[in-house]
Structure 1
């Protein structure tokens, strides 16, 4: 049997794990690490939902003494690196069937680096975690923005503070990927607004309410940046789509 490190994300319900003389209760949002080269036990208490990530131990490249210290230790998602890893794996599991082989291969390195970062940060071995944390900064920032997009105070300064990097380093990392933080956040917000404006499920929400929901302070400013991005105002887009739906339901 090839030794594997098992990273378990508890998405719902409660379970208990035992390994190496330790035991941990796992609740929604918790991560735990197990090593299948040694005996372990998992007990489920009622209905549960979880995500399991298996990584060959030699690929992960962590020393055995580090793994021995982290197995069956409850890792709360309140820790930023644990929360980012949990969110990444949860989203990855939801979209697994839609990802092709090439896309899956691209996600392998960030997955490994996040696991290494969790282990080394929790064990206070930041010297071993710095490289993995730096190499996954872009993925972690992207996930943080996705989860906090509606917050009006989502700024580069906040992103840098939440990820324990300087604003300068954040800008440098994003610029290497061709991203400007302010423009990037605004683009993501505008796209969410466009989806809601186009959806019949939100036709009774005012434009101002939709804009406010996604972090825009005022309707006038939102209308200007929306028209710059899409060539039509929010009101025009909504009217055109409503007219199109009406025509499609009109009898011949």
Structure 2
């Protein structure tokens, strides 16, 4: 959903509109623009994925300053924001420390703590906000963690997960699994903050790591989905647990690892088969790209899940896209790969 596009607003009213939008989607702040006389440009978009709010911000240079005075004006249900820097070098001050943020960093701010944040020139960020009550992490823990996130072994796991969230937020927003995605993201972030704030050996960190094991495994699998050598032993080793312990954790969440991996690969294949950009890609290449060991194995799994072969499904989708009104055979997914898939319950990412 588009929240603001300053190109539609007269230049003389843009600073005020920016300030209003920033404070309306967050909390009261002082906003200082880098070069207001040269013109302020900004575009804000938002999506809702389960209990998460996602905000995409693109603008000319500015800095948001939140003081103790602003903190006292916080809303009834304050939030924690977690953002990625997608354009420009970002400056931050939090917990008494100043630092720079680039494309491989995660920035975290608690609404109930003073801070500064912004960038020079053209910049952009993608932020996820979570209700502090839902996150369940104290203010001092969030602030302490925010300046030492890379001390946690979960940093790169969460970074990859956040990037995946932003691949298609509009699709996630309407997906039946949106609530599960939101809950899994919250668990991963809780584990990251606890681990970064207290260290790996602290019992609170160990508990958070245990609680986030299933979401971490799912995130790891999705990042390596196209690797045909992805195996249970490798997944367990990457997460420093035994294969038996991993299977027990997944089973308690109602997940069959092998069936879930196959289901995820089939969905990825459906997206490739339906993509006009990949219309010339042979079915064998689709199978390889999605991690299937052989085209025959891929075809057998596809038919078992959807009732048609990959070629038949691609042909039906092409006909639908061309407006020919050709229906699909009973059992084939007509509105998307997840529509009629017969598989085990899908885990959180």
Do they fold alike, i.e. is TM over 0.5?
yes
Structure 2 unaligned spans of 5+: 1-72, 326-349
Q: How many residues align?
A: 246
Q: What per-residue deviation string (whole Å, max 9, x for no partner) do you get for residues 222-249 of structure 1?
A: 2233333333333444455567778929
* Equivalent pair of 1:17/1:72 in contact (CA under 8 Å): no
Q: 1:217 to 1:86 in 2, by over 3 A?
A: same
* Equivalent pair of 1:51/1:89 in contact (CA under 8 Å): no
Q: What per-residue deviation string (whole Å, max 9, x for no partner) do you get for residues 30-82 of structure 1?
A: 11233454432223133332233445666655456544533434x35x96522
Corresponding residue of 1:167: 243
Within the candidate set 98, 104, 108, 1:23 is matched to 98
Residues 1:158 and 2:234 aligned together: yes
Within the candidate set 190, 195, 207, 1:121 is matched to 195
Q: TM-score, normalised by structure 2?
A: 0.58
> What is the alpha-carbon distance in structure 1 between the residues aligned to residue 182 and residue 323 of structure 2?
47
> What is the alpha-carbon distance in structure 2 between the residues aligned to residue 245 and residue 43 of structure 1?
43
> What is the alpha-carbon distance in structure 1 between the residues aligned to residue 124 and residue 188 of structure 2?
21
Question: How many Å apart are 1:85 and its aligned residue?
Answer: 2.6
Segments of 4+ in structure 1 off by > 6 A? Answer: 102-105, 243-247
Corresponding residue of 2:108: 33
> What is the alpha-carbon distance in structure 2 between the residues aligned to residue 200 and residue 42 of structure 1?
41
1:74-113 alignment, distance < 5 Å? 75-76=149-150, 80-92=153-165, 94-95=168-169, 99=173, 109-113=183-187
Bigger share in helix: 1
> What is the alpha-carbon distance in structure 2 between the residues aligned to residue 141 and residue 233 of structure 1?
30
> What is the alpha-carbon distance in structure 2 between the residues aligned to residue 61 and residue 200 of structure 1?
44
Q: What per-residue deviation string (whole Å, max 9, x for no partner) do you get for residues 85-139 of structure 1?
A: 3344455565369637x97766665444333311222241441123333333333
RMSD: 3.5
* Equivalent pair of 1:208/1:218 in contact (CA under 8 Å): yes
* Equivalent pair of 1:197/1:203 in contact (CA under 8 Å): yes
Within the candidate set 304, 311, 327, 1:228 is matched to 304
> What is the alpha-carbon distance in structure 1 between the residues aligned to residue 105 and residue 216 of structure 2?
17
> What is the alpha-carbon distance in structure 1 between the residues aligned to residue 288 and residue 191 of structure 2?
35
Corresponding residue of 1:13: 88
> What is the alpha-carbon distance in structure 2 between the residues aligned to residue 218 and residue 63 of structure 1?
50
